[in-house]
Amino acid sequence: MIEIRSLSRKYGATVAVDSVSLSIGDGQIVGLLGHNGAGKTTMMKMMTGFLEPTAGTVTVDGVDVTSDRRAAQRLIGYLPENAPLYPEMLVQEYLATMAELRGVAPGDVQRAVVDAATDTGLLDRLVQPIGTLSKGYRQRVGLAQAIVHRPKVLILDEPTNGLDPTQIRSIRELILRLGQKTTIFLSTHILQEIEAVCARVVVLIGGKLAADATLAELTDGGWVRVSVAGAAGVEGVFGGIAGVRSVTLVGPDPRSADHTVYRVECATPAPVGELARVALDRGWKLGGIAPEAKTLEAVFKELEHAHVAAEAAE
């Protein structure tokens, strides 16, 4: 559905996006994760045709965004970080205007407005001025304008930025519903946002593609949780096993008062059998040993450290 090849954007000597390539298939919800200034918004503006790339290409359903911008934009729904709303307009007036601007046939505008309002939970707000809506409902209006022309691709830049927890939960549920029939690419710097709605994660650090994998692939493997009793020098003993990178004391095991839990960071595949054998050979009482998923925060920190190291080596 979306093909990005060697996409770059420079502002003078500053490289905002640096030769990014990725492919997004039909019906996926993909999260673009990165810190502020990582190049997320610049990349999305190039994907939607609002900004020309310095180099590289973006195609949507086979249509080149740069060479055939109008045709590509008919396939795309876009919610920028600050939604372009007109507070004096009624919700239905605004959505009808957006539908007409997006090329919806005059006879289909009313149905398009009702469908978009239904999908975003705005039916009972259609005759209300946008300026009187809460911030959460204004964000819904922004989403409604993005889908009013029934696009194949929905691109959302920080869709929950500035919302309260209740509003955030509501928008996340809405994105999941929309994702059942639309390919969605959303950016955020909030880790919980990715974990809540995305199956696949693209990480951008310093304008460069640092990772592109499923959430499960990013967080799976590498950590093992070990519970032992009657043990001494655990950090040193486990740390001497091939493939073990670090050993961290977690604390008492809540399931057994005389056991202590350690987190062992390993290369993959983790040497679970060797950890168990060493513990038993030492005469330690083994209360449990099992792989533990990494947090997305830990993964992001690792990627940032790798990026800094690579930059220093250049």
Tell me: pLDDT of 312 over 80: no
User: Do residues 106 and 182 share a domain?
Assistant: yes
Residue ranges of E strands in 137-296: 153-157, 183-188, 200-205, 208-214, 223-229, 244-253, 256-266, 285-292
> Do residues 175 and 35 both lie within one domain?
yes
% of the chain at pLDDT higher than 70: 99
- 228 and 212 in one domain? no
Q: Which of 8-17, 32-41, 218-227 has the lowest mean pLDDT?
A: 218-227
In a domain, 310, yes or no: no
Q: Are residues 136 and 198 in the same domain?
A: yes
Listing DSSP states for 100-150 in one string gives: HHTT--GGGHHHHHHHHHHHTT-GGGTTSBGGGS-HHHHHHHHHHHHHTT-
In a domain, 306, yes or no: no
- pLDDT value of position 264: 92
Query: Residue 146 falls within a domain, yes or no?
Result: yes
Say whether both 156 and 262 belong to one domain: no
The verdict on 231 and 204 lying in the same domain is no
232 and 102 housed in the same domain: no
**Do both 10 and 154 map to the same domain?**
yes
SS3 content of the chain, % helix, strand, coil (to 5): 35, 30, 30
What are the CA-CA distances from residue 223 to residues 42, 174, 186, 281, 293 (Å)?
A: 35, 34, 29, 22, 7
Listed range (81-85, 194-198, 255-259) with the worst mean pLDDT: 81-85
Average pLDDT over residues 201-209: 94
Domain count, the chain: 2
pLDDT of residue 78: 95
* The pLDDT value given to residue 170: 87
Q: What is the CATH number of the domain that holds 276?
A: 3.30.70
Query: Can you tell me the distance from the alpha carbon of 218 to that of 180, in angstroms, rounded to the nearest whole number?
Result: 23
Same domain, 196 and 247: no
Query: Is it the case that residue 4 has pLDDT exceeding 70?
Result: yes
Task: Report the 10 Å Cβ neighbour count for 314.
Answer: 4
Using the predicted structure, report yes or no on whether residue 314 has a pLDDT greater than 80.
no
pLDDT above 80 (res 168): yes
Selected residue with higher pLDDT from 96 and 298: 96
Question: pLDDT digit string (tens) for 15-43?
Answer: 999 999 999 998 899 999 998 889 999 99
Assigned domain for 312 exists: no
**pLDDT value for 209:** 95
Quote the pLDDT of residue 192: 85
What is d(CA 84, CA 213) in angstroms, rounded to the nearest whole number? 32
Q: Is 143 within 8 Å of 79 (Cβ atoms)?
A: yes
Q: What is the pLDDT of residue 291?
A: 85
* Residue scoring higher pLDDT (84 or 6): 6
User: Average pLDDT, stretch 149-167?
Assistant: 90
Confidence at residue 219, expressed as pLDDT on a 0 to 100 scale: 81
Q: What is the mean pLDDT of the chain?
A: 91
Specify if 121 maps to a domain. Answer: yes
Higher pLDDT, 217 or 73: 73
pLDDT at 247 over 90: yes
Q: pLDDT tier at 206 (50, 70, 90 boundaries)?
A: very high
Q: What is the pLDDT of residue 221?
A: 64
Task: Output the pLDDT for position 149.
Answer: 95
**pLDDT range class, residue 271, cuts 50, 70, 90:** confident
- Are residues 17 and 7 in contact, defined by beta-carbon separation less than 8 angstroms? yes
Query: From CA 30, how far away is CA 183, in angstroms rounded?
Result: 8
Q: Which domain holds residue 179?
A: 2-218
Q: Residue 165, class by beta-carbon neighbours within 10 Å (0-12 exposed, 13-18 middle, 19+ buried)?
A: exposed
pLDDT digits (tens, 9 = 90+) for 35-93: 888 999 999 999 999 999 999 999 999 999 999 999 999 999 999 988 789 999 999 99
> pLDDT higher for 306 or 92?
92
pLDDT of 10 higher than 70 = yes
Helix (H) or strand (E) holding 272: helix 272-281
Assess whether pLDDT exceeds 90 at residue 148. yes
End residue of a domain, out of 202, 218, 234 = 218
State the maximum Cα–Cα separation within the chain, in Å, rounded to a whole number. Answer: 80
Do 18 and 111 have their domain in common? Answer: yes
